Amino acid sequence: MSTAGKGGTITIDGRGIPFEAGQTVMDAALAAGIYIPHLCHRPGLTPHGSCRLCTVEVGGRNAAACTLPASDGMRVDSDTVALNAVRKTITQMLFVEGNHLCPGCEKSGDCTLQAVAYHLGMLDGHFPQFYPRREVDASHPDIVLDRDRCILCELCVRASREIDGKNVFAISGRGIHASLIVNAPSGRLVDTDIEVTDLAAHICPVGAILLKGHGFEVPIGQRTFDIHRVSETDRERLPLVRPDHVDDE
Ligand code: SF4
Ligand code: FES
């Protein structure tokens, strides 16, 4: 008999945890304080299943925890040597595919990609750098879009659509030709209806969407991942809302 649509218990790395009807393995893990590495997932937004960092093993098969519905009795392996090796390889590929120059990036210390790399013990990119040529859009008075660092997670796409009630961003193209585009005939951010108070302007896990005029407000050493481990799941259980951004002036 199918157990879909009912709550129950699943086991992650040998630990039994409850889940509610409709929850995914990721939902249940986060609710129980179990960290499964992830980049394209934020509670409160529709799961996307694109980064594959949350790959877990269930019944001898790999699946993305963020899109896999929990079902009663499911046994999940996550924190294994083999899965963490795959996650590290994915992270290395993300680093070499873009231009992630951490020492010169304003997001350093607040960047989830960087924090995940530390978590997984990544010491280098391993693969040859692509050094792609990507367009920077500094047309907006308050927000800069640096595609060099975009990992195509679509968090901004979903935040704009699902929380801000707009449709500012989209992904165009496929494979290594995929890129983030904005919804304006000119193709420039200034001609969209994005505002600095939009969640989409704040949700980027890397330094691809940044606010102008706020660089290095928080000193290195006092930033999110200088103080918190990426595995502290309680940081992610806060409801997603449009932030009250207040300028200094
Ligand atoms: Fe993700 Fe940031 Fe790229 Fe948007 S700009 S797709 S949030 S990495
Ligand atoms: Fe599950 Fe990205 S977090 S695929």
Ligand at shortest distance from the CA of 66: 2
**Ligand 1 within 6 A of 45 CB?**
no
Is position 247 within any domain?
Answer: no
Are both 104 and 66 inside the same structural domain?
no
DSSP-based three-state secondary structure for 175: helix
Does pLDDT of 3 surpass 60?
Answer: no
Our mutation pick for probing the ligand 1 site, out of 105, 144, 206, counting the most ligand atoms within 8 A of Cβ, is 206
Evaluate: CB of 53 within 6 angstroms of ligand 2.
yes
Same domain, yes or no, for 135 and 217? yes
CB distance 144 to ligand 1 below 6 Å: no
* Domains identified in the chain, total number: 2
> Does 144 lie in the same domain as 209?
yes
Segment 181-186 mean pLDDT: 98
Is the residue at 159 inside a domain?
yes
Residues 66 and 98 placed together within one structural domain of the fold: no
| Same-domain status, 143 and 61 | no
**CA angle (64 as vertex; 121, 39 as ends), nearest 5:** 50
Q: Which of 24, 35, 40 to mutate to test the pocket of ligand 2 (most atoms within 8 A of CB)?
A: 40
User: Which ligand is closest in space to the CA of residue 151?
Assistant: 1
**Cβ-Cβ contacts under 8 Å for 104 (sequence gap 6 or more):** none
Residue range 76-129, pLDDT digits in tens: 999 999 999 999 999 999 999 999 999 999 999 999 999 999 999 999 999 999
Per-residue pLDDT reduced to its tens digit, 6-45:
899 999 999 999 999 999 999 999 999 999 999 999 999 9
Q: Residues 185-207: pLDDT tens digits?
A: 999 999 999 999 999 999 999 99
Express as a percent the part of the chain with pLDDT over 70.
93
The answer to whether position 231 is within a domain reads no
Full residue range of the structural domain in which residue 39 is found: 9-79
* Any atom of ligand 2 within 6 Å of the Cβ of 56: no
* Closest protein CA for atom 4 of ligand 1: 156
52-57 contacts: CB < 8 A, separation 24 or more?
A: 52/90, 53/87, 53/90, 53/91, 53/116, 54/26, 55/83, 55/86, 55/87, 56/12, 56/25, 56/83, 57/83
Q: Which atom of ligand 2 is nearest to the CA of 54?
A: 1
Within-domain flag for 60: yes
Q: How far is the CA of 166 from the centre of ligand 2 (A)?
A: 23
pTM of the model: 0.94
Ligand 1 touching residue 25 (CB < 6 A): no
Q: Could you tell me the CATH number of the domain that includes residue 37?
A: 3.10.20.740
Same domain for 100 and 170, yes or no, is yes
Alpha helices in 104-192 (DSSP H): 112-119, 155-158
72 and 100 in a single domain? The answer is no
Q: Does 230 fall in a domain? A: no
Closest atom of ligand 2 to CA, residue 66:
1
**Among 46, 79, 112, where does a domain finish?**
79
